[in-house]
Structure 1
Amino acid sequence: MPLFGRESELKDLNELVDGPASGCAGVLVQGEPGIGKSAVVAEAVASATVGGLRVLRATGVEAERNFAYAALHQLLHPLRAGADTLPAPQRSALWAALGLADGAEPGAYLVGLAALTLLSEEAAVKPLLIVAEDVHWMDRESADVLAFVARRIDTEPIVLIATLRDGEPSPLRDAGLSSMDLEPLPGEVAAELLDSVAPWLTSSVRSRLLAEAAGNPLALTELPSAATEAPDPVLPLTERLERAFGDRFTALPEPARTTLLVAALNETGSLTETLATASALLGDEVELSALTPAVEARLIDLEPRTVAFRHPLMRSAIPASVRLEERRRAHLSLAETFRDQPDRRAWHQAAAATGADEDVAAELENAADRARHRGGAAAAVAALERAAALSSDPDRRADRLLRAAELAVESGGRETAERLVRDARAGDLTPRQRSTASWLLSGFEDGVREDLSRIAELARLARSVAEDGQPDPAMRVLWGAAMRCFWAEPGADARRTLLAVADGLPVENSDPRLVAVAAYVAPFERAESVLGELRGLAATTGADPEVDRFLGSASLQVGAVDLAARFSAAAAPGLRAQGRLGLLPRALAVQAWSRVRLGDLAAAVPVAAEAAKFAKETGQPFMYGFATAVQAEIAALRGEHKQAKALADEAERIGLAAGARPVLATVQLARGIAASSEGRFDDAFADLRRLFDPADPAFQLALRVYFVAEITEVAIRAGQVEALREIVAEMERLALSTPAPALHIGLRYARAVLDPSDELFEAALGADLDGWPAERGRLQLAYGEWLRRQRRAVDSRGRLRTARETFDALGMTAWAERARRELRSAGESSPNRGPDASEKLTPHELSIVELAAEGLTNREIGQRLYLSHRTVGTHLHRIFPKLGVSSRSELKGALGLVSG
């Protein structure tokens, strides 16, 4: 049957499949049930086939939602032979996810990278069209992989067309696909369609059906067969359609009804399984011919090995049309058919259960373990939640709910986790269970949106759990509370309470968890001991990337930005290799923030961009805001003021929503730097003064020690010397209690600038500034400026020249230009600096070219950055002309990485 009223949509889809290399990843076709999503996709598939594309398909089925990677198995099954050529980590992850081999629990993003690699390799042979229908019913793991792929195929000869019901959630909504919304057919077109399928209708019935169908094509084609002169009671259209399909089903002979019921309940649609189960139910062998009446009733189509329902509403209408006991018997029969497939058996047993059943609950718990082992966190959550519902023992019920909540936290399912914790708390919990329920949800946004009183509450809970002889759960609770001290300011009393609990735990002082807690809670009081432990632990980086990641954050709290950069840089490769993209942006954001403070902008640019990208992709808004604020600071230091403002505004919007102090502090820093480089010193002082005001949301207790030099610089130029002296005096008092390197470096600068003398400048420059080139350059510039004002122009030139060369090398354009101006005033010309080769590239391109310059292959770069190696090759092809090189061997020289 031809499609009516979809000419525009078909034209767009045909253009899409005609040019899969054009840079468009694909389209998400949305609409209500029966609106024609599958019909337009079928036309696009026909067009793609004629155009020479290979078509791969996966369809979400409601009954398969709890089977991890079920839809991905459908999609990649035709390509399984090619998986043998995948890099070993990707191959192992993919086989484990699909249940085709034993292996360690695969990371979701490593599975995504394996799928992307496999698809891009296939597309290099023949362009691909991926069709993903009914993605609202896909298992979450498969939908996540498809979203991952969709974000990364814009340079591949691959097109993705997905269909989604209106109002349904799906990861594909945020995957960068263009949206195609199918609207109801206009009146004239709807009438034309109805007349083509039911020309016999009387005028009154025709008018009523047109009104009831409201332009829905499925209703227009299916309702006429059940239409009568007497109108039915008013029902929603979907319910009316299901009733029509149910009536059609109940009119079938018994063998057809039983077989069709089994097919509707069987998630795979396997014809062999359906016939075998129906035969067991009826006590007589059922032949394929038993389904002929269902085909004639236009409920199903018979494909070579499967039963295909003509519309998903038919699959849901059929079980609703039979008695509960009839459905239960069918589920039990299917469970027997699947006795060698324990996961499917468990779910059908659960569907047949009419009350608590500990045996079935235990089978579901085992299914959850298997799903978790395959990386199917969402499937494991569903199995555990159902197991909890079937539990006869309240204690086991609570344990299962809390295990499910923990998995939901790990997979980013906040609403699910909150609901599960709430359900668990509805019963009587043991002290251990209460502690678990309390710390679980702190994994989301580090408690940023919670009331500050929650921190003291968590401290008391940690102490109680520790007193019950459970130090590890107590440490987890304490860690959740300590993290909140970074994003929010709970006050001195809450910090003292947390510290007392930490001191009382039966844990070694060198335990990385305790070191990190002390750094977050008491960044000044415990700085000396924390720094000692951190320097000792720095010798063991690389053993555990998660430990390195939070030690990097801990280093940041105690003013050791050099250690922060070291730990976080060590964490990133391990987190990449494990596919832990939830933790990776945290390590990258700390690494980028630290690199900027050290003046290494070239290294910070791609790291900050990647941190922002992965934080956004993994749903971590405050880490995204933090990384975006770092990008704003980089832009300000480079003199890119318009970009700095846009990035700062975006980061502030995110940070203000919940008072995320590190985000807001970095935003104000970026604004102050930009205002200073534009000569707006009053504005710059106003921006930076907020960082030292405890009443301001941009005040961050630990991070403010990094900003002493910045506020000193602008305060002097804004004529705010007295206000500056107050701030410096406060920082001097703080310095008596902490050896934080950043604070003491900043104070030496402030002393020299406030009361300038050769002795103070020489003392500041004579301090240990190894690894702090930006601070050394800042001192040289300030010293040179002072010398020139003292009419010692000849003495000033060497200082100013060194400052200019330092800032040029670091890419700190605004500072370099200031040094040039001072040099000219001192009587020495200074050539203008052209753009550095790396500044010609986007942050994404810079990430790729730096890895290529290190000698990594395209495939290795792709594995690091979660791209296909062909995408890497495409980027390098564009990068070479920008850098004026023709081969990889020239990249080091172009980036100034050649060692001397």
Structure 2
Amino acid sequence: MPGTREVAVPLVGRDEERHLLESLIAAVDTRGEAMVLRGEPGIGKSRLLSEAVRTAQERGLRILTTVGVQSEAHLPYAGLHQLLRPVRRRVSTLPPLQHAALDAAFGLRDDVEPEPFRIALAALDLLSEVAGERPVLVVVDDAQWLDRPTVDVLAFLARRIEADPILLLVAIRDGYGAVLGDFGLPEQRLQRLDEAAAAELLDQSAPSLAAPVRTRVLREAAGNPLAVLELPAAWRTGGPEAAGADTVPLTDRLERAFAGRVAELPDLTRRLLLVAASTDDAAVGPMLRAGGVMAQADIELDAIAPADEAGIVTVDAHAHTLVFRHPLVRSAVLQSASLADRQRAHHALASVLDDEPDRRAWHHAASLTGEDEQVAVELEQAAERARHRGALAVAVTALTRAAELGRSSGRARRLLTAAVLAVELGRWDLVREVLIEVERLPLNALERARVIYVEEMGFFYPSRGHDRDAVILEAAEHAQAAGDTALWLELLWLLVSRMWWFGAEPGHATRRRIGASLRELGGAEAENPLVFAIYAFADPLGHAAAVLDRLQRLDGGRKLDPDAAQYFGLSALVVGAFDLGSDLLAVAVDGLRRQGRPGRLCRPLVSRALMAARLGEADSAITAAEEGSRIVEEMREPVWALAAANASMALVAAMRGEERAADELAARANVVAEATGARHAVANAQSGRVLAALVAGRFDDAYRYAEGLFDPGDPAYHPVMSTWVIADLAEAASHVDELAAARRRVAEVEARAGDRSGTWVALALAHARALVGEPEMAGAQLERALASDLRRWPFHRARLQLAYGRWLRRERRVAESRAVLRTARDTFDALGCAPWGDQARQELRASGERSRRRVPAARDQLTAQELQIAQFAAEGLSNREIGQRLYLSHRTVSTHLYRIFPKLGISSRAELGAALSPVAEPRT
């Protein structure tokens, strides 16, 4: 592997680990796997990887390797490029978007800006194709020093190779828990050798040691294999104290041992080693040229020969490469050099890298201790290239370093740009660090406005007080005054979104100032979809009529771009036009998938899940919520989105009568939502509890839960979403002698929301009036409610039919009641809402008609992801197309379908459509 090479020594005391790796290699034909090896320096991670490579080669596997190098961590996708270099020619066989994404990531084209997920999917598909010919072993050593974009790709691969004959082995040094540590990958921690194994290794490597020396080596090595090998060599040249006293940490003693051996080399050789240790490039050409700059003379390859002979490095004259024996050797070379010498080495490297601007910029930066605006500009340009290639983490690092080196006048601008990119990356810890640096600087009003923008993007101030609203609004007005229209709109959007998320009602002054901005921007008829969304969110109840009128003219949004469709869809959500909103967000999600922008999928997915659940489209709600949850976890999205997803799943569970699941999901949502102040998620989760209690006959609980949404002192309070449960509150009230209080709530909602036809509030109010009105008017009011256009509201329609059927039966209109109750039963059954269907059956039995229980449909056996894959396949998409939509390899899709067909009792894709249809079972 390039970069370092661990000396070939017997593999002693590692039988358990060797057998584990052998078993993984033997099983790679049947399943993919990922494994992380962790341990201290010198513990034998690289040696085990070498053994795995040898075993894999014997079995005919293709081997792909990459090694992390500290100086390479700032170079976008450097590790991935090294990994895929042997199969680079196969990139041209990928679909065009993926081909373009990898080319852009590797700097081969600059006309596209790929999302990191698109790059990762391209790497997955490339490896999947290669593995289709013969299994692949991917070996990653010193992953703690890989560039962050490559680490993210590896995490993506590790989660998706189960169906491919790919084994991923990653070695990581102790002390770097953040590297792949939060992705839940299997780990094998390497412990130190026991006394017997250490003694056996020492006897094999240094058999002629005197007994006292042997005893001291074993004591000080303490089971570290590299120490067992190196301490005798150090003592032979410099005595027992050459590596430092035994009170010094073992890693430091090993570095000192290597440094002692380096010190014995000729001066010119040491200079070349310092240059080699300062770069990530194993090629000797640039090293020799940079060494020549330092020595002010031409240098030939034989100048490095003494280091090769001493076992410090290995030089391949044929490949013109140099590799260090062990990472600690490289570290020893760097640590033993003075700061001035290290800076000279970096300056020399920068001077010979004119054709590699990114490397040149970083070497220039490493050669400085003071300010240098020109180098800061170079780093800023490198950051822009990294951003263009989808390597946002690298761009953030480059910008923060540019801020350190550049003039103070540009420091805030560079840091704030870095902070915005860190927000896009989901690195909230990094956002905070950058903002702390920014706060130390003198800021003008516009820069302060940008700080507020970044803080709100990171949800750092989740309080619901009016003080924060005023701060954001003032920042927006500063941006407007400065002529930064984009920032002005973004801050207004964050302000009104915050009001929705946190269930806050703006004070009179804030509402007036927002209104003034909206009038200037055009309100509901504004051409900019973002302005329209600001208008909708600013007053969802008061602006509902104008918003709905505009939405109904969009013709489903089929011609909209994904961003516009998302703004319109979210606007539909807050005014309660769930049918329109669900369709618009479906357009947004589909467009974002096609564009390869999964990082933007989370919000439209979890928002669509909420609306689909309200509509009774349980399958759509669950698939959207679960996919949104996966994206939250994988892309480090704000946790409020996870709460929102769980809340929507709680609502679906309640509709299905799964009371325990509904309660658990609601509780899970509340833990996150209450901590972040995201009342909209708490309110949605509470709505699920209301529904679950209703269907279980716990009417006291249902009424109490529903009332909580109207109570400003309750965590579930939400001024808009409370109106959505008015029918549930009315139904619960009719069972617990709270009709008078419920009538007051109905009147309150009518006063606040009006009767906006086409919204959920209007439908819920019609239902509620029938439940709490005068008994003699109930039938007419239910008939009026059922006369609405309810084609997209099947669950609500079935509940109305159940209520109407009950009323008809109690009015002794039995024959009429049966037809209505049958329709309600069939709808509930088709939606999978078994307890509601059972209520309709009870009413039918009371009318004298038998009705058997619903037979579970085969589709009920599918998981959410299996259902999503099956639906895509039923639409005619190929496995590869499905994989691109869901960011899976086409082999993984094939494996899922292999499991899906038997569950559905079918044998071909042509049968999927009928098998997935939620048609109710025939009854007698």
Report the TM-score when normalising by structure 1: 0.95
Correspondence for 1:47 among 52, 55, 76: 55
Correspondence for 1:31 among 39, 61, 65: 39
1:662-688: per-residue Cα shift (whole Å, max 9, x none)? 222222222232333333333333333
Equivalence for 2:599: 582
Please state if 1:481 is matched with 2:495: yes
1:452-475: per-residue Cα shift (whole Å, max 9, x none)? 742321112212332333332122
Correspondence for 2:702 among 678, 681, 684: 684
Equivalence for 1:159: 167
Distance 1:25 1:665, change over 3 A: farther
Report deviation, 1:201.
4.8
Please state if 1:425 is matched with 2:439: yes
Aligned-partner SS, 2:907: coil
Correspondence for 2:728 among 695, 706, 710: 710
Worse overlay, 672-681 or 551-560: 672-681
1:301-334: per-residue Cα shift (whole Å, max 9, x none)? 2243321112212222212212233222222221
1:507-532: per-residue Cα shift (whole Å, max 9, x none)? 23213222222332322233233333
Instruction: Please give the alpha-carbon distance, in whole angstroms, between the structure 2 residues aligned to 1:221 and 1:502.
Output: 75
Please state if 1:293 is matched with 2:310: no
Report deviation, 1:491.
3.9
- Do the aligned residues in 2 keep the contact of 1:538 with 1:567 (CA within 8 Å)? no
Equivalence for 1:340: 355
- Do the aligned residues in 2 keep the contact of 1:804 with 1:817 (CA within 8 Å)? yes
Equivalence for 1:865: 886
Please state if 1:302 is matched with 2:315: yes
Equivalence for 1:552: 569
1:439-458 aligned within 5 A: 439-445=453-459, 448=462, 453-458=467-472
Correspondence for 1:597 among 607, 614, 623: 614
Correspondence for 2:155 among 139, 147, 155: 147
Equivalence for 2:251: 238
Equivalence for 1:100: 108
Instruction: Please give the alpha-carbon distance, in whole angstroms, between the structure 2 residues aligned to 1:735 and 1:566.
Output: 23
1:591-740 aligned within 5 A: 591-620=608-637, 621-736=639-754
Worse overlay, 15-24 or 715-724: 715-724
**Paired residue type of 2:301:** L
Distance 1:591 1:731, change over 3 A: same
Distance 1:250 1:499, change over 3 A: farther
1:122-156: per-residue Cα shift (whole Å, max 9, x none)? 11110111111222211111111111111111111
Report deviation, 1:284.
3.9
1:191-202 aligned within 5 A: 191-201=199-209
CA RMSD of aligned residues (A): 2.4
Report deviation, 1:218.
2.1
Instruction: Please give the alpha-carbon distance, in whole angstroms, between the structure 1 residues aligned to 2:918 and 2:111.
Output: 40
- Do the aligned residues in 1 keep the contact of 2:64 with 2:138 (CA within 8 Å)? yes
Instruction: Please give the alpha-carbon distance, in whole angstroms, between the structure 2 residues aligned to 1:758 and 1:864.
Output: 48
Instruction: Please give the alpha-carbon distance, in whole angstroms, between the structure 2 residues aligned to 1:248 and 1:476.
Output: 60
1:204-237: per-residue Cα shift (whole Å, max 9, x none)? 5545444443332222222332243456273222
Distance 1:21 1:749, change over 3 A: farther
1:777-856 aligned within 5 A: 777-856=798-877
Worse overlay, 882-891 or 477-486: 477-486
Aligned-partner SS, 2:180: helix
- Do the aligned residues in 2 keep the contact of 1:712 with 1:724 (CA within 8 Å)? yes
Worse overlay, 21-30 or 113-122: 21-30
Worse overlay, 394-403 or 437-446: 437-446
Equivalence for 2:4: none
**Paired residue type of 1:616:** E
Equivalence for 2:99: 91
Equivalence for 1:180: 188
Instruction: Please give the alpha-carbon distance, in whole angstroms, between the structure 1 residues aligned to 2:439 and 2:460.
Output: 21
Report deviation, 1:423.
1.5
1:734-753 aligned within 5 A: 734-736=752-754, 741-753=759-771
Distance 1:439 1:61, change over 3 A: same
* Residue segments in structure 1 that go unaligned for 5+ positions in a row: none
**Paired residue type of 1:34:** G
Distance 1:305 1:637, change over 3 A: farther
Report the TM-score when normalising by structure 2: 0.93
1:263-305: per-residue Cα shift (whole Å, max 9, x none)? 1112112122222322343344433332232123332222433
Worse overlay, 682-691 or 497-506: 497-506
**Paired residue type of 1:369:** E
Equivalence for 1:412: 426
Worse overlay, 131-140 or 226-235: 226-235
Correspondence for 2:77 among 46, 57, 69: 69
Distance 1:111 1:551, change over 3 A: same
Instruction: Please give the alpha-carbon distance, in whole angstroms, between the structure 2 residues aligned to 1:205 and 1:538.
Output: 86
- Do the aligned residues in 2 keep the contact of 1:184 with 1:214 (CA within 8 Å)? yes
Equivalence for 1:379: 394
1:887-898 aligned within 5 A: 887-896=908-917
**Paired residue type of 1:403:** T
Worse overlay, 842-851 or 876-885: 876-885
Equivalence for 1:515: 532
- Do the aligned residues in 2 keep the contact of 1:69 with 1:142 (CA within 8 Å)? yes
1:327-356: per-residue Cα shift (whole Å, max 9, x none)? 222222211221111111111111112321
Q: What is the count of residue pairs matched by the alignment? A: 897
Please state if 1:113 is matched with 2:124: no
* Residue segments in structure 2 that go unaligned for 5+ positions in a row: 1-8, 920-924
Equivalence for 1:248: 261
**Paired residue type of 2:590:** P
Instruction: Please give the alpha-carbon distance, in whole angstroms, between the structure 2 residues aligned to 1:703 and 1:413.
Output: 31
- Do the aligned residues in 2 keep the contact of 1:446 with 1:483 (CA within 8 Å)? no
Instruction: Please give the alpha-carbon distance, in whole angstroms, between the structure 1 residues aligned to 2:649 and 2:901.
Output: 25
1:5-31: per-residue Cα shift (whole Å, max 9, x none)? 222122111111110254452111112
Instruction: Please give the alpha-carbon distance, in whole angstroms, between the structure 1 residues aligned to 2:795 and 2:96.
Output: 42
Worse overlay, 377-386 or 517-526: 517-526
1:580-610: per-residue Cα shift (whole Å, max 9, x none)? 2222021111111111111122332322221
Report deviation, 1:391.
0.9
Distance 1:446 1:611, change over 3 A: farther
- Do the aligned residues in 1 keep the contact of 2:557 with 2:587 (CA within 8 Å)? no
Please state if 1:268 is matched with 2:281: yes
- Do the aligned residues in 1 keep the contact of 2:32 with 2:164 (CA within 8 Å)? no
1:851-870: per-residue Cα shift (whole Å, max 9, x none)? 11111111111111111111
Please state if 1:766 is matched with 2:771: no
1:175-209: per-residue Cα shift (whole Å, max 9, x none)? 34211111222344334434443445555554544
**Paired residue type of 1:546:** D
Instruction: Please give the alpha-carbon distance, in whole angstroms, between the structure 1 residues aligned to 2:770 and 2:482.
Output: 55
Worse overlay, 320-329 or 824-833: 320-329
Equivalence for 2:411: 397
Distance 1:535 1:167, change over 3 A: farther
Report deviation, 1:541.
4.9
- Do the aligned residues in 1 keep the contact of 2:619 with 2:864 (CA within 8 Å)? no
Report deviation, 1:446.
7.9
Instruction: Please give the alpha-carbon distance, in whole angstroms, between the structure 2 residues aligned to 1:857 and 1:593.
Output: 29
Instruction: Please give the alpha-carbon distance, in whole angstroms, between the structure 2 residues aligned to 1:736 and 1:370.
Output: 53
Report deviation, 1:425.
2.7
Instruction: Please give the alpha-carbon distance, in whole angstroms, between the structure 1 residues aligned to 2:506 and 2:109.
Output: 53
Please state if 1:465 is matched with 2:476: no
Report deviation, 1:255.
2.3
Instruction: Please give the alpha-carbon distance, in whole angstroms, between the structure 1 residues aligned to 2:340 and 2:427.
Output: 34
Distance 1:542 1:65, change over 3 A: farther
- Do the aligned residues in 2 keep the contact of 1:106 with 1:375 (CA within 8 Å)? yes
**Paired residue type of 1:316:** S
Distance 1:216 1:702, change over 3 A: farther
Instruction: Please give the alpha-carbon distance, in whole angstroms, between the structure 2 residues aligned to 1:447 and 1:5.
Output: 53
Aligned-partner SS, 2:591: helix
Distance 1:389 1:409, change over 3 A: same
Please state if 1:14 is matched with 2:22: yes
